Amino acid sequence: MEPTSRVIVALDFDNRRAADEIIDRLGDECRFYKVGLELLTAAGPDLIKHLVAKGKEVFLDLKLFEIPNSVAGAVRAAGALGVSMVTVHSMGGTDIVAAAVAAARDFPRLRVLALTVVTSMTTSDLTDIGINASTDVQERRLARLAQHAGCHGVIASPQEAAPLRAALGPSALIVTPGVALPGESPGDHARPGTPHAAVASGASHIVLGRTITRAADPVAAMQLVRADLGRACRTS
């Protein structure tokens, strides 16, 4: 996979204008964008339609965690918009994940990814909600559940990419948020990594936000990310 295809830029904005500005500035440098709950709520589905019409791929990060029927309906709506990836929360269990996978079958380009453990969470956070397992153990447990339910891949931290790749095999998608260039702050992510480290460990895609969108020169930042990824691709 080419380095450009691996990079997903997170449009973590609270308004359409800011998102449009970064999309225009990046132009052909970026082909894949993540739209999360904040921007979807602020801008609505028209932004997604706009991105798809421009030939971009869209990762719609909904983290669906509802009754199976509602999850299936949301996945069908995402497929109708033309998105490439949509997320479901694997902690909802097999029935919820399987409902998402079944709903996606009518949309051949749509990939269902299961969120394992949110990258801001630590082992102590899991203990707080009654889960007596470390984050890495819980990620692997939920990744296996997702794979058995038919998911195309998982969302996980860069630090768990290697064991997940070993567990899920070569064809699974492993999408890693919490990625930043060396020396940059990972923000709210408790288990971060660099582009090179994430891909070298087995990530198929990396998600970057502030590294690109808050840079003085987003195009130059994107080129630095691709150069870092190129190192990983040459050594993998």
Cα of 188 vs its chain's centroid, Å: 15
Active site annotation includes 34:
no
Q: CA-CA distance, 92 to 203, in Å (whole number)?
A: 24
CA distances (Å), origin 70, targets 110, 123, 125, 164, 226? 18, 30, 27, 29, 38
Give residues with Cβ within 8 angstroms of 205, minimum separation 6: 6, 7, 8, 32, 173, 174, 175, 176
143-175 pLDDT, tens digit each: 999 999 999 999 988 888 999 999 999 999 999
Q: CA-CA distance, 208 to 195, in Å (whole number)?
A: 9
Q: CA-CA distance, 162 to 48, in Å (whole number)?
A: 32
At which residue do the structure tokens 């020396």 appear? 183
pTM: 0.90
In the chain the domains, ranked by start, together with CATH numbers, are 3-235 (3.20.20.70)
192-206 pLDDT, tens digit each: 678 888 999 999 999
Catalytic residue among 34, 54, 56, 63: 63
Q: CA-CA distance, 86 to 77, in Å (whole number)?
A: 10
Nearest by Cα to 3 from 32, 26, 27 = 32
Residue range 217-225: mean pLDDT, rounded: 93
89-142 pLDDT, tens digit each: 998 999 999 999 999 999 999 999 999 888 788 899 999 999 988 888 888 899
pLDDT band at 85 (very low <50, low <70, confident <90, very high): very high
